[in-house]
Amino acid sequence: MRTLVAYFTWSGNTKEIAERIARKTHGKLFRIEREIPYSTDYNTCASDTVIFT
Ligand SMILES: Cc1cc2nc3c(=O)[nH]c(=O)nc-3n(C[C@H](O)[C@H](O)[C@H](O)COP(=O)(O)O)c2cc1C
């Protein structure tokens, strides 16, 4: 049985953890991406949440 580690990351923190989990489980990494990426500016990103969720 293979493990799929699907993750979403904005700043890279979750990517780091997902990579560690994938290494430990010999899982396959799959990055979930938004069709319209969040802004790299924190405040803009946080206010976008209200609009896009
Ligand atoms: C849409 C969105 C909304 C967020 N809102 C908050 C928030 O309200 N408070 C906070 O501390 N961090 C917020 N963050 C930042 C995340 O906590 C931060 O990115 C965290 O490191 C999650 O890991 P990632 O960067 O790999 O996605 C938000 C990030 C995104 C993408």
Ligand 1 atom closest to residue 15's alpha carbon, by position in its atom list: 26
**Amino acid code (one letter) for 53:** T
Are the C-beta atoms of 6 and 19 separated by less than 8 Å? no
User: Residue 31 carries which DSSP code?
Assistant: E
Ligand 1 atom closest to residue 11's alpha carbon, by position in its atom list: 25
Determine the pLDDT at residue 3.
97
Determine the pLDDT at residue 51.
59
For ligand 1, whether the C-beta of 9 sits within 6 Å is yes
* In-domain check, residue 11: yes
Determine the pLDDT at residue 52.
52
Strands (E), the chain: 4-7, 28-31
* In-domain check, residue 3: yes
* In-domain check, residue 43: no
**Ligand 1 centroid to residue 24 C-alpha, Å:** 25
* In-domain check, residue 12: yes
pLDDT per 10-residue tile (average), the chain, 53 residues: 96 97 98 92 82 54
Q: Give dist(CA 47, CA 11) in Å, integer.
A: 16
